[in-house]
Amino acid sequence: MTTPTATRQDIVDTVYEACVEILQADRSTLSETTAFAADLEADSLALVEIVMVLEERFDLRIPEEDLDGVDTIGAAADLVSERLAAAA
């Protein structure tokens, strides 16, 4: 599903939803500073699943090398925002 007019909050909400679904995270504990590994104990497979959700939801391809340093929900949202802006 293409979402060319996605707001940053739409993106953050999608990351939250993915964390709840894939990691069984408690939505009320999530924020943009929540770290995937340190706070949510996400392993590399879970992170790949989260990226796949974002790619599908926003009709993007996110190369693995672009994920370096993307360790928080906010950083993931920033990356998707940047990719959407570049594609516009």
Q: Please check whether residue 30 lies inside any domain of the structure.
A: yes
Q: How many domains does the chain have?
A: 1
**Which pair of tokens denotes residue 42?**
């996400």
What is the domain range of residue 16?
8-87
- The vertex-15 CA angle with 11 and 36, nearest 5°, equals 135
**Which among 35, 45, 37 has a CA at the least distance from the CA of 75?**
35
Q: Please check whether residue 64 lies inside any domain of the structure.
A: yes
pLDDT band at 4 (very low <50, low <70, confident <90, very high): low
**Which pair of tokens denotes residue 60?**
């993007």
Amino acid identity for residue 5 in this structure: T
Q: At residue 3, does pLDDT exceed 90?
A: no
Q: Please check whether residue 71 lies inside any domain of the structure.
A: yes
**Rounded to an integer, what distance in angstroms lies between the CA atom of residue 15 and that of residue 21?**
10
**Which pair of tokens denotes residue 58?**
């926003």
Q: Please check whether residue 3 lies inside any domain of the structure.
A: no
pLDDT tens-digit map of 16-55: 999 999 999 999 999 999 999 999 999 989 999 999 999 9
Q: What is the pTM of this model?
A: 0.90
